[in-house]
Amino acid sequence: MIRCVIIDDEPLAQDVLEAHVSGMPDVTLLGKFNNAPEALAFLAGQEADLVLLDIEMPEMTGIQFLKSLAVPPLTIFTTAYRDYAFEGFELGVIDFLLKPIAFARFSLAIDKVRDFIRLRAQNTQLEPGDPAPEYIFVKSGVKRLKLYFGEITHIQGLKDYAIIYTPAEKVVIKGSLKQVLERLPPNLFVRVHKSFIVSKQKIARIERNRILVGPHQVPVGRNYREVIDLL
C-alpha cells in the first residue's frame, strides 16, 4: 500500500486529488494539509511514501518544503505553473502534474511511483569493471542483466537512484546519475539536465526547453543548453 499525503492550499484542488487517490486501490490517504508547516509537523511523526505537493502556497512554498526535508518521500508536484517543471525535476520529483489534473494523467504518475518502489526493492546495481563496447551489466542478487547501449532511450536521476529506460522495460539502479554517466560511451549519450541523460541516437526532436525521446518529454536544464546546441 502506498501511503500518501496531499499538500495544497486550494480546497478544490485537494478534493480533486482526494477523489483521484480514492480510485487507486493500492494508495491510501494519510492526510490533507492546507499549508506546508502543518504537513511538516505531521510527517515528523508519520512516515509517508508519497507527497502530492502544490508549489505556490503561503508561508512556505512547495519547493521550500521539499528542500527542508532531510529524506523526502517520493514527490509529485501538482501545480498550475508549467515553468516549475524544470526546477521540480532538479529536486528529484518523480513526476509533475499540471492543473487541472485528469484522472488518466494522475494514474500514469502513480504507475511511475509503483514501478519505482517495486524496482528499488530489487537492489540492482551497476556491475563493477569496464563496460563492453555495446552493453553494460547490472546485477540484482545472483541475476545479471545485460543492457545494450543501443536500446537505452534515456536515464532519470532520482535521489540516490537512476531509472534506465528502454522501450521494453525500466531498470532502477542504486547510484547517482554522475556514476551512471561515467560508465556510458560519451559518443552515444549526453547529459541534458541535472536529472536526465539521453541517448543521442534516440532523440526525435529538440525544442527550446525539452527533448522528445520516443513518447517521453525530457526537460533541458538551463546550464545544459549550450550542450544541446552542439548536437
* The pLDDT value given to residue 229: 73
CA angle 138, 150, 170 (to 5 degrees): 50
pLDDT at 142: 74
CATH number for the domain spanning 90: value is 3.40.50.2300
Residues 114 and 175 in one domain: no
Answer whether residue 34 shows pLDDT above 70: yes
DSSP 69-123: -SSPPEEEEEES-GGGHHHHHHTT-SEEEESS--HHHHHHHHHHHHHHHHHHTT-
Q: Are residues 93 and 159 in the same domain?
A: no
Q: Tens digit of pLDDT for each residue in 50-94?
A: 999 999 998 899 999 999 998 899 999 998 887 766 677 778 899
pLDDT in tens, 118-161: 988 988 998 888 888 899 999 887 788 999 999 999 999 988 89
Same domain flag for 19 and 106: yes
169 plus 89 within the same structural domain: no
Same domain, 92 and 177: no
Arithmetic mean of pLDDT, 178-193: 93
* Same domain, yes or no: 159 and 212: yes
Together in a domain, 108 and 162 = no
Q: Are residues 8 and 114 in the same domain?
A: yes
pTM for the predicted model, two decimal places: 0.81
**Range(s) of the domain holding residue 198:** 124-229
Looking at the fold, whether 83 and 7 belong to one and the same domain comes out as yes
Picking from 103, 131, 118, 116, the residue whose alpha carbon sits closest to that of residue 17 is 103
- pLDDT confidence bin for 222, thresholds 50/70/90: confident
Q: Name the one residue in this structure whose C-alpha cell is 480510485.
A: 23
